[in-house]
Structures are given as C-alpha cells and as structure tokens.
Structure 1
Amino acid sequence: MSDEAIEETLGKVVKLLAYITDKDLFAEFYRKKLARRLLFDRSANDDHEKCILTKLKQQCGGQFTSKMEGMIVDLTLARDNQLKFQEYLNENSDVNPGIDLTVTVLTTGFWPSYKSFDLRLPSEMVKCVEVFKGFYETRTKHRKLTWIYSLGTCNIIGKFDPKTIELIVSTYQAAALLLFNTADKLTYSEIMTQLNLNNEDLVRLLHSLSCAKYKILLKEPNTKTISPNDIFEFNSKFTDKMRRIKIPLPPVDERKKVIEDVDQDRRYAIDAAIVRIMKSRKVLGHQQLVLECVELLSSMFKPDIKTIKKRIEDLITRDYLERDKDNPNTFKYLA
C-alpha cells in the first residue's frame, strides 16, 4: 500500500472509534500491542505509528494518547542511552560485561505494567547486569532500575554433536539452558530452586524447551506434559537444517489482566469525577450527582451506576463527602 492509502485506512479506523463506548479499554489494548511492536522491533513504520497517534489525539484528546506518545519518545532516549553505554565500555577497558548487552531503559509511567520476577540469573548474566548498573549510576543518582526479564531475548550458541546452532530464546529460557553447562541432568525441583520461578512460569518454560517443536532438552518420562517429578538433560544429539532457530514461549492471554487494569483505572476516574463535581457544587442530590458523573466520563467510557454508588460510599468513608443529616439522598463536599 502507498503512504496515502495507509493514511486513509488509518483515518477510517480512527473514525470507527467514535462508535465505541469503552474507549479507555480500546486505548489499553492498543497500548499493549504498541508496546510489543516497539520493544520487539515489529513495527512496520515509525511514521505510521506517529500518524495514527496524531489522529487518535485529534479524535479523543491529548490525555488519550499521552502515554503512547511517551513510549515512542522513551525508545528514542533508550537508543541514545545504549550508545552512551557502548562509549562507556570503550572508555573503561577494565569493565567488561563478558557478553554483548543491549538494555532498553523505559519510564514506568508510560508503559503497560509487566510482572517483574526475582529470576535468579546465571553468573554470566549477573556480571553484565552489574556492569550496566555501574554505568547507569554514572548517569543518574535518583532513579532505580527494575529489570523486566520476561521481555528480554538472548542469542546463545548451542554446541550440539552434529553441529553448532544459534538459539534465539527468552531470558528465562537462556537462564534455564545455561544451567546445563555445569550439570548433565537436573530435576524439575532443582531447576525451580536455581531459577527461583513459580510453577506456572516454569511449566511454560520447560514445555517450550522439551515438548514443543525444538527439543533442546530431553525429558524423563517422555510425555507431552510437564510434572514436578520430571528429570531433564541436554539433548546433545539435537540438530536442525537451519543454523539459527527461534524457540518461542507459549503465549500468555493478557486479556484478563488488561480488563482488570482498566477497571482499576475506572475507579480512580470515577472518584476524581465525583470530587470535581462536588468541589464545584458543594451540595448535590444523589440522582443529580450520578447523572453529572456519567456525563463527565461518557467521552471515555459509560460508567456503571452501581459502581458510582460504591465509589460515593467509599468517598464518604474517606471523608471527602458526607450525607445531609436531614436528607440522606443529598451529599455535601468536605473541604
């Protein structure tokens, strides 16, 4: 498609948004998808990403796209940060991470929330993380790094008997495979202890390496499911016609998490709307407060009446509002 045709298509997509009630839910799903495109370099064209954000901003306002615009700016700063890291390594010959390392430093407030686990990294990875921390502390003293290993990727060299193959894996998969540099066989519980992972994540991880298309690990017993009694060993006889293969992790359905996050944000939005209305009106009847709250929020989502009532009660318990002593259906704003 030509640039003109793409821009026309994006315009039609944005126009459809006017007919969607839950615009905040759309925004959160879009932000999740945009984050993955940006972080894994899957975006077809940066200009098209900026184009649709401009159109969304015109349609829904600056608040709708502020986090997404922040993500794009963040990546530009992250690339600059990586160049400074390379300069730091070149200038400090005594500092050597041991492996090629690329770190994307992001601003928490712009990006979707990701689970950060205390993955126990192998010694090879610990060293390079410490080197980057040392570099980052020379750049700023007031920011703390939180490592999101679930978004990381690694290229590791698998030395199999038939031939050497480059494996493109997640940080979790790499951490698990590196354990077999010092052990012939490991039990499920030993891997769990050494990596410090929970059952759910470990099952996904081991399934991808021993039960899926590429069986980098051999499993006893040789079944299609992972159990706590399994024993794993490195498959030295593994081979493939390609010299480089990507081993995917089974996808996680993020829909439930997105909906939960949006519900939480809606509670905050309803609280803010109620306080804003009551601050300007001082005294207001229940029915009028609910109507004004719905009207104020309807540009982003249609608030549930029961939820508004719950938020009013919560604000009363937190001393933002109080009921009129003579008329319990009338509320007063407490400054």
Structure 2
Amino acid sequence: MSKLLTRRPDRVDLTKPRVSIQPHQGVRKLTIKNLRPAARQDSLDQYYARAFGELQDALRCILERKQPKQPLERLYRNVEDLCRHGKAKEIYDHLRMICEAHLQHEVLAAIDRDAGNVHLGVPKLKSVHKHWVIWQTQSTTIRSIFSYLDRAFLLNQKDLQQINDMTISLFRRACFKHTELNRHGRLPGPDAISGMCDLVEYDRRADARFDAALLRDSVSMVNVLNIYGKYFEPKLLSCSRAYFSEFAEEHSAASLKSYITACEGLLAREDFRCNAYNFDSTTKRQLMDDAHATLIDEYTDKLLDGESLSKLLDENEVEVLKALYELLRLSSIQKKLKEPWTAYIKVAGSAIVNDTARGDEMVVRLLLFRRTLDVMIRDAFDKDADFSYSLKEAFASFVNDKKILASWKTGTSKVGEMIAKHIDLLLRGGLKTLPQSLLSDVQDRADAEKSGQASTGDEDAELDRQLDQALELFRFIEGKDVFEAFYKQDLARRLLMGRSASADAERSMLSKLKSECGSSFTHNLEQMFKDQALARDEMASYRAWREGNGHKTGGLDLSVSILSAAAWPTYPDTNILLPDNVASQVEQFDKYYVNKHTGRRLTWKHSLAHCVVKARFNKGPKELLVSAYQAVVLTLFNQVEGRGGDNEVLTYQQVSEGTGLTGGDLDRTLQSLACGKSRVLTKNPKGKEVNPTDTFTVNKAFVDPKYRVKINQIQLKETKEENQATHERVAQDRQFETQAAIVRIMKSRKTMTHAELVAEVINQTKSRGAVDTAEIKKNIEKLIEKEYLEREGNSYEYLA
C-alpha cells in the first residue's frame, strides 16, 4: 500500500530569511493518506484469477499436445506471482490433480486404443512406450513453466515431490501401480512388461518380429520409472529359466561337440544382449548363473562323458574343449573334468606303448601325443596347473604299467629302450629325423622369447628343446637302468663311428643326464668321452714314434681307439683273417702300446672297425666307406682278379674260409655288398637272401654319382638277439643290485621285519628301476640259501 506525506501550506515572507524550525510554533503535523481506491483490490484478485486461468489453459494445451496461447515467459511470471501471493500449495495440488486425471483417463484410453484394444505384449509395449515418450515431452514443458514452484517451494517440502518426480510417479501409478482398474478392466503395465520379455524371446529365437530399438528404449523407460527390479527383472528371469530348460532339453540329444557349441553360442548371445540393451549387472549375473545351473549342472553326466570327451581329444578339437573349459569355469564341476582327461591319457598312452607292430615309432608317437596334450592345456585349458599335473601322473602310470612287460616280453622297460634309441636318432640325424608337427610353433617361440630362452627358431636351440622333450619322457620311467644300457651302446657306436651330428648336442645331453640322475649314472658315459680324447693323443704319439723309427705305412693309415673295458659296452670277440698289410700294422701298434704301457693288454674288436677302400670299376675309381668285415670280403677278390671267367668267382664257402667269417656275420656282410642299394658285388642266383650255395663276383659295371660311396654296414645294426640279451643283462644286474641292497641294509640294521626290509629295498633301488616285491622276496630267499641272512619268524637277522 503506497502512502503520501503532505503538509499544510503557510504564508511565506520573502523579505525574511527562511528557517526550518519555528521555535514558538513547534513541529508541524504530517497527515498520511491511502491513495489506492477500494477498487484496486478487486483488480488484483482479477489479475491472480486471470493468471491462474492462463496456467490452466496452458496445461490443457500442453496435455492436448498443442502450443500454449501465452508465451512461456509470461506463464512462468504467472507462477512466480501466484507463489508470491501464497498460492504455491494450491498450484501444486491443482497441477497434480490435472496431470493425474489426464493420465488416468486420456492416456490410458489412448494406450488401449493405439494397442488395438488387445492384451498382447509387444503391441501394448509399443503403445505404452509411445505415450511415455509423449509424457516425457509434456513433462519437460511443464517443468520449465513451473520451475519457480520447484525452486522456491517444493525444494523445501519434505512431503511433496518435485515436479519431475511427480510426473514419473504419476505415470508409474497410472500404468503400473494403480489399484483401480481402468475402464477396460486391465492395466497396460503388466502387458508392457510381458512385451519386453517377448522381445527378448524373439531375439533368442531369431524371430523377425524382434525390435532392438524398442527393447533398448523400453529398458531405459522401466529404469526411469524405477520398476526395473520390481517388475521387469523377475519376469525376465522366470521366462529365461524356462527357455534355458527347453534349450538344454532340445540340444542334449545331439553330440557333445554340438551341445558345447550350442551352449557357448547361447551364453555369448546372452552376454551380448545384456550389454547391448543396458540390462542391469545383477540381471546379467543372475541370467548367467541360471544358464550355468540349467545347461551345465543339470547335464554334468553328458559334459563329463568319457567316451565323448575322448572323441573330442582324438580329433584335437581345441576350440570345443576350450569352450567346455570356459563353460565349467563358473561351475563346481570343472575340477571333475580332470577325471575323464586322465583316463583318456592312460588309455591312449597304453595303446601306444603296447603296440608291438609299431615299436620303432613308439617315442615319436608318445612325443606327438604329449605335444598335442600340451597344446591342449595351453590353448584350451588356460595353462591350468591341475591339468598339467594330471597329465604327468597319467604318463607315469601307463609308462610303468606291468602290462607293457607282458606285451613286449622283455622283462624290463621297453619304453626306456625306445627313448634311448630316439635320442640316438636325434643325436645322429638332427631335426630332419623328426616330423614337422613335433617342432616348435609360433606360440612356443613367443613363450621362449618371453622367458628369456634361446629362440626355438635356431636349429641348435630347437634340437636342445627336442632333447628336453625326450628327457621328460625319461623322467617318467622307473627302469632307468634299461635306458642307461641302451644309451651307452648307442653312444659307443656314435663315438666309434663318428656319427654324432653335433658334438655340442652330445655334451649338452650328457650334462642333462648328469643333472637329472647324478654323477654315478653318467660316470661311464663321461669316461667314454675321455677315452676318445686320450685315444687321439695316443695316436699322435704313435705316429711320431713311427716316423722317428722309420717304419713304413705301406699306404695304410691306421687309426686306433683305445677303450676302457669297464666304461664301454661289452662286444663279442670275433676271429677274422685280416689282409697282410693290415695285420702287420695292427701287430706293430700292439707291440708299441704294450711296451709303452706295462701290464696292459689290447683286445681287438674288429666288429667295430670301419675303413675307406679304393676300388676300380669300369666307369672309374671309387672310394667305398665300409666296415672291417666288408673290407675283408672285398679285398679277398683281389686274389682272384685277372684270372678271367669263372676263376674270378668266389663261392660262399670260399669267402668264409678266406675271411674267417661264419654264420650271421658273413650272411649280413655279403647281403650288404650284393643285395643292398649299392651293389659292388653280384650274387648268383639273384635274390634278397644269402644262401650257402650262392656265388659272388665283383660288379665291374657298378656306378654311382658320388665318388665316395657309403655302403650300408648291416653288422653294426642291433639284432633281436642282441636286444634281448641287453634286456636280460639289465634284469640280471638288477637282481645283483637288489641282493647287494638287501645285504647293505641288513648289515647296518642287523634285524628287520619282512615288510620293513622290502620297503627299504624298494626305496634304495627305485632310482635304477622298479623291483617287484615278488622279486625282492626271491632274492631274500637266495641270500638265506647263501647264509647271508637267517629267518626268525617274520623277521630276518644278518649273519656276519
């Protein structure tokens, strides 16, 4: 209310000075008057009424999706004026009432109408979402007009919702939570939720009715309405569990590979859908848990079926097994996968080592098998240490299975023998003797570089890696004495015949064996290398002595390897008639050595000798690399050369008498010269076998593109009899070692029970080879007979 300050007019004397205070009259009176007429109040009431009416009209236009007649700025000022006039609560209640009435009548009716008045999920969902989008647009305009009400009044009211929350709450209440049915007797919300689940179902079944945009927008809608966890998630999970059960039942009749592939695809699609359409993380986790429970836990027997898994492993289905491993990762049954894995390895490995028809391929097949399994662990099982440990246990089991002894009838480890022969093949021929699949792949090279090892792309490094692979098989065998015996024989041949592909590889392998088994295991092997070095020094000394004494060589260059009898394998003594010039050189060296080393004696092993023989043929001269046996036979023909006709023919008997060779040695020698690839002799009659009635002549028409020709030295190959003799010798040595261990133990303990003695013997002899308890008992009986022990009840006493 405005007021005006006035005063009464006075007379003024212009001739006198003006003073503001009249001391005799005092302060003058001031009269304040109300200048606003009574009609002014009526004008204000009309203004507020008009402002309220304009807001009502604007709300009606907004809800009818029309442009308000008044500018939004004026409408905002009307709200501000009404709020300042104390009408804030009245405006809020009126706004809520109008919005609620609009939603309950017009919007619900429009939703039913747009959905075709049917209660189908997807059509109703489309209609609900359409009107939700409209309502959001309307709400935005309403909030902008009534923003002053939000900031000045509602912000400080704890029991009243702000406009944004109110509009969301009203739509949720109208469509999803209202306790009263609409005029059609059914709320659209449940149908809309069903429609969302139907869309997920369409996507799962690749139905063309699937609408990705609608599903994504619908998830956003229920999140904003805050009904995702209460209505949508439970419905979705319930429908999903039913789908998972149907899916599992449908695919369970297929093969394991098909089932795993189908499950992997389903889980990948579920994961993608949850991420692509913004499902909550709890929904995703629960969906995956339900899928695993249905697809995996309920079908454990199928997933762990040994026969099906064996087929996948046989076919090297890395991707399928990787999928299976990933499927089981979140399940408690993952560890049970080791059982069929271990069983498969034992069965497949036993089949390899018991295959007597392919014994020569045993170790290569085992290495290929091990390589396949290692790649499977690396690429499919995520380098799981449990699977690696199971693999080693399985290998140790079938490698030392007693059934192998029965299959091969060797009495000792056949696997140990074949590993020694495989290493011999590697050290003689290098990598070219191996199949390509055994060599390192790109991933192996990358792992080697990461670990700081030499690149497996280098040939020496790859050879060293292959030796390590063979050594891993060697670690599994309990009969290491068998390996030692055969490795020693093969090493001797390589050293004596100069057949090692790499001296560095030989030393590396010896170092590996020493590290693995100790110095006692490699003592004799190291002595063999020392003997080779001493022999070179001895020959240098001999040549110097010969030159100093003026001894002539007669065109013959003799080289002798002096071997320690204890370190080298035992070779049979053979009587052979050497050519005169060779015999004289051998005798000369024998005298030199005996005179130089008093008390020593040389035993000549001509079966190990080899030499180069110069031969003349019609097409020119050749140098023949042959064994001593072959050289003796060939030089025998020098005695009949030039006689002409049948006089240049030697019979089987004549060759035998002229060389001193008989039996198998002679047969193999003649066969290598007359029936092999390089036939320097001609046999009559022709054939692959040598008979006592055959005759032989020099093949003067012999040709070969090389000047130096290597003739196959059959007598250096190990025969079946020699192989069996080696196994028998190992078995016999094992008996002696067992008896020695028994005596050693009893000598220190004096008295022991049978069980204690057997356990201690097994413990002391296991590094050399497993001894059966029955064999230990037999050796105890032998020692009792020899009066080393005496039985007292169930105990034994040592007899000094």
What is the TM-score when the length of structure 1 is the normalising length? Answer: 0.91
Alpha-carbon shift at residue 6 of structure 1 (Å): 5.4
Partner residue of 1:286?
Answer: 754
Q: 2:713 aligns with which of 246, 249, 264?
A: 249
Q: C-alpha distance in 2, partners of 1:91/1:173?
A: 33
Q: C-alpha distance in 2, partners of 1:261/1:112?
A: 11
Q: C-alpha distance in 1, partners of 2:632/2:745?
A: 53
Asked if 1:163 corresponds to 2:628, the answer is: no
Asked if 1:216 corresponds to 2:673, the answer is: no
Equivalent residue letter for 1:264: Q
CA contact (8 A) 1:97 1:131 kept: no
Alpha-carbon shift at residue 15 of structure 1 (Å): 4.7
Task: Please list, as runs of the form range in 1=range in 2, the aligned pairs for 1:79-90 lying within 5 A after superposition.
Answer: 79-90=536-547
Equivalent residue letter for 2:579: P
Partner residue of 2:649?
Answer: 185
Asked if 1:21 corresponds to 2:489, the answer is: no
CA contact (8 A) 1:167 1:245 kept: yes
Asked if 1:71 corresponds to 2:532, the answer is: no
Task: Please list, as runs of the form range in 1=range in 2, the aligned pairs for 1:173-322 lying within 5 A after superposition.
Answer: 173-183=630-640, 184-250=648-714, 251-253=717-719, 254-322=722-790
CA contact (8 A) 1:207 1:226 kept: yes
Alpha-carbon shift at residue 79 of structure 1 (Å): 0.9
Q: C-alpha distance in 2, partners of 1:239/1:48?
A: 36
Residue aligned with 2:692, SS: coil
Q: C-alpha distance in 1, partners of 2:691/2:723?
A: 27
Post-superposition Cα deviations, 1:215-264, rounded to whole Å, max 9, x if no partner, equal: 22222222221111111122233232322211112333453233223212
Q: C-alpha distance in 2, partners of 1:10/1:225?
A: 38
CA contact (8 A) 1:154 1:168 kept: yes
Q: C-alpha distance in 2, partners of 1:7/1:207?
A: 37
Q: C-alpha distance in 1, partners of 2:638/2:492?
A: 34
CA contact (8 A) 2:594 2:601 kept: no
Alpha-carbon shift at residue 64 of structure 1 (Å): 0.9
Deviates more, 1:35-44 or 1:222-231: 35-44
Post-superposition Cα deviations, 1:242-288, rounded to whole Å, max 9, x if no partner, equal: 22211112333453233223212212211110110111111223332
Distance 1:94 1:80, change over 3 A: closer
Asked if 1:332 corresponds to 2:797, the answer is: yes
Tell me, which stretches of 5 or more residues in structure 2 are unaligned? Answer: 1-457, 641-647
Distance 1:43 1:307, change over 3 A: same
Q: C-alpha distance in 2, partners of 1:229/1:2?
A: 51
CA contact (8 A) 2:656 2:666 kept: yes
Q: C-alpha distance in 2, partners of 1:170/1:6?
A: 29
Alpha-carbon shift at residue 298 of structure 1 (Å): 1.1
Distance 1:55 1:290, change over 3 A: same
Alpha-carbon shift at residue 14 of structure 1 (Å): 3.9
Asked if 1:30 corresponds to 2:498, the answer is: no
Residue aligned with 1:56, SS: helix
Q: Which has the higher contact order (CA 8 A, sep 6+)?
A: 1
Q: C-alpha distance in 2, partners of 1:102/1:275?
A: 46
CA contact (8 A) 1:98 1:127 kept: no
Residue aligned with 1:219, SS: strand
Alpha-carbon shift at residue 2 of structure 1 (Å): 6.2
Asked if 1:112 corresponds to 2:569, the answer is: yes
Distance 1:249 1:8, change over 3 A: closer
Distance 1:9 1:252, change over 3 A: closer
Q: Which has the larger radius of gyration?
A: 2
Deviates more, 1:295-304 or 1:53-62: 53-62
Q: C-alpha distance in 2, partners of 1:163/1:282?
A: 77
Equivalent residue letter for 1:219: K
The structure richer in helix per residue is 2
Equivalent residue letter for 2:567: F
Post-superposition Cα deviations, 1:185-242, rounded to whole Å, max 9, x if no partner, equal: 2211222223222311111011111111222222222222111111112223323232
Equivalent residue letter for 1:243: Y
The structure richer in strand per residue is 1
Alpha-carbon shift at residue 9 of structure 1 (Å): 5.4
CA contact (8 A) 2:479 2:769 kept: yes
Q: C-alpha distance in 2, partners of 1:171/1:143?
A: 24
Alpha-carbon shift at residue 108 of structure 1 (Å): 1.1
Q: C-alpha distance in 2, partners of 1:39/1:153?
A: 9
Alpha-carbon shift at residue 23 of structure 1 (Å): 1.6
CA RMSD of aligned residues (A): 2.1
CA contact (8 A) 1:96 1:131 kept: no
Q: C-alpha distance in 2, partners of 1:230/1:212?
A: 16
Alpha-carbon shift at residue 307 of structure 1 (Å): 2.1
Q: 1:62 aligns with which of 519, 532, 549?
A: 519
Deviates more, 1:274-283 or 1:10-19: 10-19
Partner residue of 1:152?
Answer: 609
Residue aligned with 2:614, SS: strand
Q: C-alpha distance in 2, partners of 1:56/1:240?
A: 42
Q: C-alpha distance in 1, partners of 2:545/2:742?
A: 51
Alpha-carbon shift at residue 165 of structure 1 (Å): 1.2
How many residues end up aligned between the 2 structures? Answer: 332
Equivalent residue letter for 1:204: R
Distance 1:58 1:214, change over 3 A: closer
What is the TM-score when the length of structure 2 is the normalising length? Answer: 0.40
Deviates more, 1:17-26 or 1:1-10: 1-10
Q: C-alpha distance in 1, partners of 2:754/2:554?
A: 63
Identity of counterpart residues, as a percentage?
40
Alpha-carbon shift at residue 12 of structure 1 (Å): 5.3
Residue aligned with 2:478, SS: coil
Q: C-alpha distance in 2, partners of 1:141/1:99?
A: 27
Tell me, which stretches of 5 or more residues in structure 1 are unaligned? Answer: none
Q: C-alpha distance in 1, partners of 2:506/2:708?
A: 30
Q: C-alpha distance in 1, partners of 2:459/2:691?
A: 52
CA contact (8 A) 2:497 2:610 kept: no
Distance 1:161 1:51, change over 3 A: closer
Deviates more, 1:273-282 or 1:46-55: 46-55
Residue aligned with 1:143, SS: coil
Post-superposition Cα deviations, 1:135-162, rounded to whole Å, max 9, x if no partner, equal: 2123202111111112111111112233
Deviates more, 1:72-81 or 1:11-20: 11-20
Equivalent residue letter for 1:30: Y
